[in-house]
A and B are shown apart, each in its own frame.
Chain A
Amino acid sequence: MTTSSSKTRSNGRTKWLDLRVNGVAVQCADGGRVLDAVRDAGFEVPTLCYDERLGAQGTCRMCLVEVEVNGRVEQVASCTAFAEEGMDVATHTDEMRSYRKTLLEMLLSEMASPNNNPYSNKVGPTEFDRAVEEYEAKWDALPHLRPRVKAEHDENPFIQRDYDYCIACYRCTNICNDWEQAAAITVDGRGQDSSIFTFFGNELIDSPCTFCGQCINTCPTGALTDRKVVSQDISAEDVDRTQSVCPYCGVGCGIEILTHDGEIIGAEPDFTAASRGSLCVKGQFASWEFVRSEDRLRHPLIKQPGGTFRKASWDEALDLVSSKFKDAIADEGPDSVVCWASARVVTEANYLMQKFARVAVGTNNIDNCSRT
């Protein structure tokens, strides 16, 4: 499998192709896929097996479009087909719409209870939900097949697996094996019997799974969900999202902080950031509980004789701090004061901290923990 290079457009030598999508003129880099042209032209087709970080698979067939080039008309999966000069692309003809609806109804026929997906409403309308709604696909349009083999009982605290909602798109196994290269999960069986399994059918905690959560984030249906988030039983429409940056290592992966009613309830990757949707176990599962911890400091504290702390007002605490600093400066000179900034807080606070040392105290005794 290769990485998609169609998005690379910074190279001045790139040859550009002219296409039309539903009558809209669009340019696409030579070597780019039809799907890129469709999206650049402002149209959307469902792409249930596609993750831009992985090579196109072309297995779900939902992105099928009609193309006309040099007098020949074909139906192609837009994720795998290359763009060609002069190509005319039609995404939403009656035939294409009907085709997608049938495909969705085939997928629905494999599901135990699509309207009762207990997770869907908590993780928001999934890609699959949105496609079902757009194409008005019906659960009972086709005879029901035996549901997929269920995952083994798996009580890990991070990843919830419910393969009733699996559509065998294999995005989870591809992200795990090709992108993360963790090789924790694999496809077992063929066709209707295919299922997602760990090797030897063990629980994830006994597999090479690192709990990076990337399978959850690429899953288009809610078969894989963040147990910490869904267990809070909050409806997705009541969840707000704030783009930010993971508070752990120096990679600086983009995250979306999930909040409900003024409280932080989870985190997801920010796919628009330079990290391209990647997170590790800390960013996915450890980046928010500490924020709402009971152990957080809520008041300034002043130490009493005897060594215990008492609550204090900001006025009292800051008066004490400033008077002690002033005393030290007056008695021993500004170099008797030392300020240590933090590799954990925003740059703006660090800028103020060094300026505080240099301007308010009058010393260059400012350092941070870059050595430790």
Chain B
Amino acid sequence: MSNSIEELAGTDFLLVTGSNTTEAHPVISLRMKRAVKNGAKLVVVDPRKIELTKWATRHVQIKVGTDIPFYNAVANVIVNEGLYDPEFVEHRTEGFDAFARHVQMYTPEYSAKICGVTPEEIIETAREFAAAAPKASICYTLGITEHSCGSHNVQSLGNLGLLCGTLGVPNAGVNPLRGQNNVQGAGDAGCIPTDLPGYQKVERPGIREQFEEAWGESLPKRRGITKITAMEQMIKGRVKAVYVMGENTIVSDPHANHAEHALRSVDFLVVQDIFLTETAQLADVVLPAGAFAESDGTFANSERRVQRVRPAVAPPGEAKTDVEILLTLFERMGKPQGMKTATDVFNEMRSVTPIYGGISHERLERDGGIQWPCGDEDDPGTEYLHGDEFSTGFPGFFAPVDHIPPAEEPDDEYPWMLTTGRRRSTYHTGTQTGQASGFQLLVPHEMLEINPRDAEEMGLQDGDLLDVASRRGQVTVATRLTERSPRGLVFMSFAFPEFTRTNDVTSDAYDFITETPEFKACAVKISKSARQDEEFKQAQRRIRLAGEVKQPTELMPGMNGRNGHGHS
């Protein structure tokens, strides 16, 4: 995030897009709700009627994969009505004139047709955003990035920040809400094929040499390959050995059959994890690791805050922490590191990572979490980025991006659009929430969320088992009628792989710059499964999806109620 979580509560305008915040980031949604209570406007741009829309001033229900025409049209209004910040544009950005010409074709009327909304919704959103700027926050997450045009989606949002000067000031920003507890830290630490620790580019002159000197080793010159490319190379036989730490790849990755095929193709697979996950079962060697509560170190959260993680218990049996395992493996490879503890490792990392320079375990113990960049011990850390200049050192470049539809759209054979995401009480592939007692009451199994009118036309009821098939695979799943889904769009999470491996179905397309998979859009067909099971119907009656409110008739004892799928 360019800005901080707490700052959201103090903003005047929130644009939340591609983020089911109350379910995927419940505690961030509290600050959004607080902002609304304090008088801020909230515009939710999302194909689904997610729970957060209950707090929204406006819910703009665009079609899946039409983000760019929507935000280009918002920019069109801001440019043509002269609502942008001329001073910010002049001093902090480049490419305004070309961008202003580029968005001319994206009139509100033109984009409204593509997005399935009204021109007024675009115009009003633009005016409100510009009026509140610079105290206007944009928040997005995987609904924006998990598209084959994901990086362009992000740029279309960035353009709005550049136009109205909502970068480098408090209560503003263009804020990606990060999905996993330490996805930020993994990037910070240099687990990126193009970047050494601290986002220092492998191929930028001088960077590699600095690390060679610090580490006393010669280092590879060329950038490495991403996961998506690596899986292709595995199938082609060019990758021989793979080391996977803490990731259930064949369940979490799209087009899961492909991921499984890739990992089965390599000569030697090592998986280091806390459970014998579906991915670990494919391994030649499984290394038992410590869980978070057994580990010493740090996590970095979505707002770049580095926080201390402390061991509360010992790993079970002979399991060891990831740090211990890796340090031992260095020795076996003939490269002993001379480090013993997580604190030793952190100290080395901060010595080669300028954005972590002023952070130490000791300081975190004393002062609590610190937000990077933090250059030295006297630096309090950074609540919001891009203050006087952009952290890249360059001006902000406007990106003239164009509409790219999802790689796969519904057709006669596969007439439904499937989008995937999370639910509040399950997490990712379910390896952790699946172990929590009582959670099966909240969400007992995977569900295909479908609009009640669509379901009626197909003769479907809550709990009916369905076969959902795409060009890549098929899964069986229980039906859930809900107004959260607009007509034609169905939704699933991926937290119940033992029965419903959602990612067998999802798309194999990915963004051509970041190689982020298109989890948010694929075409499927739906049919009633030959297998029907009363258990699913029973379980379905008690579930309440986020944002759904039961009707009084369902709640009053002794009254004849409908079965549990009321809507808000």
Spell out A's residues near B (CB within 8 Å).
Answer: 3, 156-158, 178-181, 199-200, 202, 205-206, 208, 210-212, 228, 240, 242-254, 257, 259, 262-264, 272-275, 278-282, 285-286, 288-293, 295-303, 309, 312, 314, 317-322, 324-326, 328, 331-332, 334-372
B132-140, B306-314, B485-493: which lies at the interface: B306-314
Contact between chains at A245 and B253 (CB < 8 Å): no
Contact between chains at B180 and A296 (CB < 8 Å): no
Contact between chains at A367 and B191 (CB < 8 Å): yes
- A295's nearest neighbour on chain B, judged by CB, is B275
Tell me, in angstroms, the Cα distance from A359 to B25 when the chains sit together: 36
Contact between chains at A325 and B326 (CB < 8 Å): no
Q: How many A-B Cβ pairs are below 8 Å?
A: 475
Q: Which of B164-194 contact A (CB under 8 A)?
A: 177-194
Q: Does B374 touch A at the CB level, under 8 Å?
A: no
7 A-B pairs within 8 Å (CB atoms) are namely: A156-B438, A297-B286, A298-B319, A340-B247, A358-B196, A366-B191, A369-B252
- A180's nearest neighbour on chain B, judged by CB, is B30
Contact between chains at B291 and A291 (CB < 8 Å): yes
Partner of B312, one of A206, A264, A297, A365: A264
Tell me, in angstroms, the Cα distance from A249 to B317 when the chains sit together: 28
Contact between chains at A280 and B424 (CB < 8 Å): yes
Tell me, in angstroms, the Cα distance from A262 to B215 when the chains sit together: 38
Tell me, in angstroms, the Cα distance from A296 to B202 when the chains sit together: 37
B397 to chain A minimum Cβ distance, whole angstroms, is 23
Contact between chains at B185 and A350 (CB < 8 Å): yes
- Find chain B residues with CB under 8 A from A202 CB: 555
A160 to chain B minimum Cβ distance, whole angstroms, is 12
Contact between chains at B274 and A367 (CB < 8 Å): no
Contact between chains at B242 and A337 (CB < 8 Å): yes
- A302's nearest neighbour on chain B, judged by CB, is B285
Tell me, in angstroms, the Cα distance from A75 to B542 when the chains sit together: 51
Partner of B288, one of A248, A299, A332, A344: A299
Contact between chains at A344 and B181 (CB < 8 Å): yes
Partner of A181, one of B37, B254, B299, B514: B37
A311 to chain B minimum Cβ distance, whole angstroms, is 9
Contact between chains at A248 and B297 (CB < 8 Å): no
Tell me, in angstroms, the Cα distance from A252 to B300 when the chains sit together: 8
Given A291-B293, A346-B309: A300 in contact with B247 (beta carbons within 8 A):
no
Contact between chains at A343 and B186 (CB < 8 Å): yes
14 more CB-based (< 8 A) A-B contacts, given A274-B369, A360-B334: A242-B312, A244-B308, A250-B302, A259-B312, A300-B287, A303-B285, A336-B241, A344-B247, A350-B191, A351-B190, A354-B190, A354-B197, A362-B219, A366-B190
Interface membership of chain B positions 16-27, coded 1 if the CB is closer than 8 angstroms to chain A and 0 otherwise: 000000001111
Contact between chains at A303 and B283 (CB < 8 Å): yes
Which one of A156, A179, A340 has the highest number of Cβ atoms from chain B below 10 Å of its Cβ?
Answer: A340
Q: Does B213 touch A at the CB level, under 8 Å?
A: no
Contact between chains at B439 and A301 (CB < 8 Å): no
Tell me, in angstroms, the Cα distance from A324 to B332 when the chains sit together: 11
Partner of A352, one of B227, B228, B323: B323
B69-77, B113-121, B426-434, B453-461: which lies at the interface: B426-434
Q: Does B94 touch A at the CB level, under 8 Å?
A: no
Contact between chains at A338 and B243 (CB < 8 Å): yes
Contact between chains at B436 and A290 (CB < 8 Å): yes
Contact between chains at B333 and A345 (CB < 8 Å): no
